[in-house]
Structure 1
Amino acid sequence: MSGGGGGSVAFVLHSHLPWFRRNGVFPVGEEWLFQSWSESYLPLLDTLERLAADGLTDVMTIGFTPVLAEQMADPYLLAEFHSWLGRRVLDLQWTMSAAPASDKAVLGPVWRHHAQRQARLLTQLEDGLLGEGLVAPFARLADAGVIELLGGPATHPYLPLMADPSLIRGQISAGLDVGEALTGRRPTGVWAPECGYRPAGPVGDPTAPPHDVRPDGTPLLVPSAVDLPGLEAFWAEAGVDHLVLDGPTLARPAGAADREWARTARDLHAVGDPLDVLDRPVWIADSDVAAFGRNLAVSYAVWNPHGGYPADVWYRDFHAIDLEGGFKSWRVTDTSSLAKQPYEPDAAAARVAAHADDFVGLLHAHLDPRDDDAVVVAAYDTELFGHWWYEGPQWLEAVLRRLADDPTVGTTTLAGHLARRPPAARLRLPESSWGWGKGHAAWVTDETRWIWQEIRAAEDRFATLADGPARDAAWRQLTMLQASDWPFMIARDQSTQYAVERVKTHLARFEQACAGQDLEELAWHDDPSRRPCPVPIGG
């Protein structure tokens, strides 16, 4: 554990994007990958390698979903990313030379900042990453004990509503296979997709209208005829011994009042407070699988639906793009105003230092220095750091360096904490997710019911297929169809048409695979590795 001997913080970053390879470019498609890689993953890698060079270990836990990791290692996408990044450099050079003097006077300094940064990224990519891919360097950091790498199911499906046990096992084993193939080690920890969990019992039926809908939008699903073990049984069977779930999934059965988990993080919990469950893992039911709950009060101090550090007036504004260069060249200035001021990197760096101090102070206020069993799980999407919050990687490095020298609060990986401090308690957890109402509302609506119906029909059709190349190709399309991204995008009204098109496309390709037609064409889009289906005939 880096830092002190009291409590610790486990930074956990969740990296996921759906399969975009040769499935669109812009505004939705491969462009999403390249933005995330250049703005978050490459800067994060640079940060971690600096920390490693200075001897820091047990720094954080990072998960790359298998469907994303495959793309991060794909030669075609790496070559496309290289071209995309090179074009960005040329665009900036042209902008700086061709812009009117008046524009140069206002935005010239920030354009030069962008140009230097883009050139560094291009050099970083060309200095080995272009050949080995973006997963290998993170694997080396894991081997060196700097980070822990999490795995997950193959295509990030919403497991609580999967009803075929053989397909659940297939998704999990295929995903862990990808992790092992790309990193050299089989993951023993996962970020459960969508923080989804289901205890033993009947699986809810998303294909039928719910028998009721709560005021927060949570559908109360009609139970299906399928009765399965809790998801922890499937994880344990696959060799997974710890996972990340949402904080309320642990807080509610521990006795915390609804939404009590979101109270201020600077309040120390009293002895016996139900929220103590958020500062230590628990065993799930009767299993040997430990659940770590996201500490939302701490995590929300950084970013939440109403603001957080990235909303500071000196940070780069995510939404404001200069028309001349096509870059984000303005600072937040005022969240209620459209009149933005040019971005000033030096002023932003000063705010990074202040916010790093503030976060470390928050941890000191939250953790009892006498309780060295405590671990705060500060969990975020990786894209927060760099993509959404431009200064995020700087802030993360500043916090980690402060904690490395801290006598009472240090950093840890989830696996490291579990090895040192196994859970002392067991909880029977409720069916839950991170989404609205902490239930199924972000994936099951009237507008998405047809998707679940099509998925169930495809799963039934898949069960009839004989072994062979066609079944392997159909498996790939079925797992793409099962991705949780498509119903989520529709339920949240985010690129809805693209999500609908992807569902219909994978349905068509699934039927094409079942018929054994044009399998090479399918591989061109979706199967560079040609991995065989892990689900045995007959389940």
Structure 2
Amino acid sequence: MGISLSPTLCHMLTDDFLIQRYLEYTEKQIEFGEQELDRTAGESEHNSLVKFFYDRVVERKAFFTGRYDKNILKGFDYYQKKGRLEIMATSATHSFLPFYTTCPEAVQAQFEVAISTYRFYFGKIPQGFWLPELGWKADLDSWLRSYNFAYTMVDAHALVFARPFAEKGSFYPARTPLGVIVFGRDFYAAEDMAKMTRDPLYRYNSRDQGFELPADRVKPFLGPHSSRTGTGYKYWAVGQDGSGSVLYNPALALEKVKGQARAFLDAELSRLKTAGELMDGSALSLCAFEADSFGRFWYEGPEFIEALFREGAKLEETQFMAPTEYLCKQDPSTFQNLTPEYSSWGVNGYAETWLDASNDWMYRHTMRAVERMVEITERFPNNTGLKERALNQAAREILLVLASDWSKMLYKQENTEYARNQIESSLRNFTTIYEALGSNYISTEWLTHIEKRHNIFPNINYRVFRRKN
């Protein structure tokens, strides 16, 4: 199994402030669960459901503070060292890289911070690179090769419409002109997964007790101006009509998960058998999904993954392998040389998710800021002290504004005010530093405040934006 943990996520998972916030939230969940157990004492079905969620929160806290010592990256690293998991690198702030290939220093910074962060947390050089949003453009081939990545992944149509076209479709890896191995995502597996998540027995995510009980019962979860927030206690299943009006039954949901895992495997094996016959060889299925599909959007998702591996272990014809393990067992001469088509796994398969009327305004400001970042890196190549701190913070602000999350949120009309504020805040902070360096005066108090507020990549070196000859 392979997984991509972005440098941004790695930093967040080890940030003391966020860890403390998480523990405080967990404590609130436990206290609320105890109140709910008392409130529902006379309703056996509701009470057993409360107990189910309460026990999970308690167990989760025990694992987090005990087994993983408040650092779950240690768990990922442990399983990688045992050979059970392969952690892939990805760009520093999950930037949609095809947009920035005309500004090489932006792509360079994303790669270099990604590699240094990976080495810091996992103590080794990554073999694979996960392209954020599976965003591929032919120009990225040289970047992947220059940073010694052995493989990457693209969506299925990148291979189907490749030049020349992929003779084995997306059921077998290919090789780029510069020798990077490219795996194509199994489109059919993604379709099957999307259908499964809507089963009537699964938990309904849109009804949380934090929004249904009287305010005095959810006081710990009230935000500013008594705004409501989620408690994690959700008692309803999707139901046949999708309205979330049927009481959730965890046991039935778990049985459904096991059945769907078997059905998923059967469908995959059938397709692979057919593809293998057409290819005159063994076919491969790359099942790639967004991690928040498992747990956040699909509550039973983690149980599905477990059931999938348990069911697969019973079948002799099934093998689960991480990408590097698979490549070690293949003859490289069997990989077709081709250039994948420009693509992503966004809406309609190209780039409209990150560039349309809702978000196009940001790019002229972003590009101008990147050009200025390169400029001040050239102007101040060897500075130390306060100026170096300012330059490092400028680099952080640029990387933050390059994140693909903001344009995606604007496109989806989700938390648009927050996304716009994040873009404008980072651009404003960068401009303040740029102008301060020009006037040779930087407010230490202001800089310290910004360093604490946007403290990502504490060991960053602003010279990652330096122009290379």
TM-score (norm 2): 0.86
- Gap regions ≥5 residues in structure 1: 1-59, 200-229, 257-273
Counterpart among 163, 177, 196 of residue 135 in structure 2: 196
Alignment-derived partner of residue 527 in structure 1: 455
Does residue 357 of the first structure (1) align with residue 262 of the second (2)? yes
Structure 1 residues 313, 451: CA separation in 2 closer, same or farther (over 3 Å shift)? Answer: same
Identical aligned pairs, as a percentage? 20
Aligned AA (1:445)? D
Which residue of structure 1 lines up, in the alignment, with residue 375 of structure 2? 464
| Whole-angstrom distance in 2 between the partners of 1:275 and 1:319 | 44
Q: 1:107 to 1:536 in 2, by over 3 A?
A: closer
Cα offsets for 1:458-491 (capped at 9, x unmatched) = 1121122123222211011000011111111111
Q: 1:366-515 alignment to 2 at 5 Å?
A: 366-368=271-273, 373-421=282-330, 422=332, 423-465=334-376, 466-467=380-381, 468-514=388-434, 515=436
Match of 1:282? 174
User: In 1, are the aligned partners of 2:108 and 2:465 still within 8 Å (CA)?
Assistant: no
Separation in structure 1 between the aligned mates of residue 207 and residue 465 of structure 2, nearest angstrom: 51
Summarize the Cα distance change of 1:536–1:319 in structure 2 as closer, same or farther, 3 Å threshold: closer
Separation in 1, partners of 2:164, 2:109: 35
**Residues 79 and 130, structure 1, Cα contact 8 Å, conserved in 2:** no
Question: Residue 149 of structure 1: which of 70, 74, 87 is its match?
Answer: 87
CA distance in 2, matches of 1:396, 1:293: 20
2 CA distance for matches of 1:400 and 1:150? Answer: 20
Letter in 1 for 2:199: D
- The answer as to whether partners of 2:175 and 2:338 remain within 8 angstroms in 1 is yes
Give the 3-state SS of the residue equivalent to 1:190 in structure 2: strand
CA contact 2:164–2:338 (8 Å) conserved in 1: no
CA distance in 2, matches of 1:361, 1:384: 21
- Cα distance per residue 1:28-73 (max 9 Å; x no partner): xxxxxxxxxxxxxxxxxxxxxxxxxxxxxxxx00111111111112
2:385 equivalent in structure 1: none
| 2:354–2:407 Cα contact (<8 Å) kept | yes
In the alignment, is the contact (CA less than 8 A) between 2:113 and 2:464 conserved in 1?
no
- State the shift of 1:373 in Å: 3.8
Residue-by-residue CA offset, 1:163-196 (whole Å, 9 max, x unaligned): 2112211110111111110111121212101111
Q: Is 1:318 matched with 2:224?
A: no
Looking at structure 2, the residues matched to 107 and 255 of structure 1 have their Cα atoms a distance apart, in angstroms, of: 59
Equivalent residue of 2:68, what SS? helix
What is the CA-CA distance between 1:75 and the residue it aligns to? 2.1
Deviation sequence 1:1-37 (CA, Å, 0-9, x none): xxxxxxxxxxxxxxxxxxxxxxxxxxxxxxxxxxxxx
Greater helix proportion: 2
State the 1:99 CA deviation. 5.0
Mapping of residues 253-268 of structure 1, within 5 Å? 253=162
Superposition deviation, residue 299 in structure 1: 2.1
1:323-334 matches, within 5 Å, as 323-324=212-213, 326=231, 327-334=233-240
Q: How many Å apart are 1:339 and its aligned residue?
A: 5.7
Letter of the 2:189 partner, please give it.
V
Give the superposed CA RMSD.
2.0
SS of the residue corresponding to residue 62 of structure 1 reads: strand
Count of paired positions: 424
C-alpha deviations, 1:118-161, integer Å up to 9, x for none? Answer: 11001111104244x12121011111100100111111111111
Measured in 2, the distance between the counterparts of 1:75 and 1:354 equals 41
- Deviation, structure 1 residue 313: 1.4
Which residue does the alignment assign to 1:168? Answer: 107
Q: Which residue of 2 aligns with 1:302?
A: 193
Consecutive unaligned residues in structure 2, runs of 5 or more: 219-230, 382-387, 437-441
1:292 aligns with 183
Distance in 1 (alpha carbons) for counterparts of 2:292 and 2:119 = 24
Secondary structure of 1:406's partner? Answer: coil
Contact conserved, 1:155 with 1:479, CA < 8 A, in 2?
A: yes
| 1:247 match | 156
Counterpart CA distance in 1 for 2:297 and 2:104 is 37
CA contact (8 A) 2:238 2:244 kept: no
Deviation at 1:436, TM superposition (A): 2.2
- Contact 2:186/2:285, CA 8 A, preserved across alignment: yes
Residue 108 of structure 1: aligned partner: 47
Q: Provide the C-alpha distance between the structure 2 equivalents of 1:144 and 1:501, rounded to a whole number of angstroms.
A: 43
Normalising by structure 1, report the TM-score.
Answer: 0.75
1:180 matched to 2:119: yes
Secondary structure (helix, strand or coil) at the match of 1:166 reads helix
Rounded Cα–Cα distance in structure 2 between residues aligned with 1:407 and 1:254: 36
Higher RCO (C-alpha 8 Å, min separation 6): 1
TM-superposed deviation, 1:254:
6.8
Question: How far apart, in 2, do the equivalents of 1:316 and 1:249 lie?
Answer: 35
Aligned partners of 1:167, 1:536: CA distance in 2, in Å?
7
User: Distance in 2 between the 1:321 and 1:93 partners?
Assistant: 16
Residue pair 1:82, 1:130 contacting (<8 A) in 2 also: no
* Post-superposition offset of 1:512: 2.9
**Preserved contact between residue 78 and residue 130 of structure 1 (Cα < 8 Å):** no
Once the 2 structures are TM-superposed, how far is the Cα of residue 404 of structure 1 from its aligned partner? 2.0
Do 1:315 and 1:331's aligned partners in 2 also have CA atoms closer than 8 Å?
A: yes
Q: Which amino acid aligns with 1:295?
A: D
Distance 1:155 1:416 in 2: 27
Contact 1:477 1:510 in 2 (8 A): yes
> What is the deviation of 1:105?
4.5
Q: Secondary structure at the match of 1:512?
A: helix
Which secondary structure state, in structure 2, belongs to the residue aligned with residue 291 of structure 1?
strand
Name the residue aligned to 1:347.
252
Whichever residue aligns with residue 73 of structure 2, its letter is V
Question: Distance in 2 between the 1:120 and 1:113 partners?
Answer: 11
CA contact (8 A) 1:523 1:530 kept: no
2:348 partner amino acid: G
The CA deviation at 1:295 is 0.6
Instruction: Measure how far apart 1:316 and its partner are.
Output: 1.1
Equivalent position SS for 2:289: strand
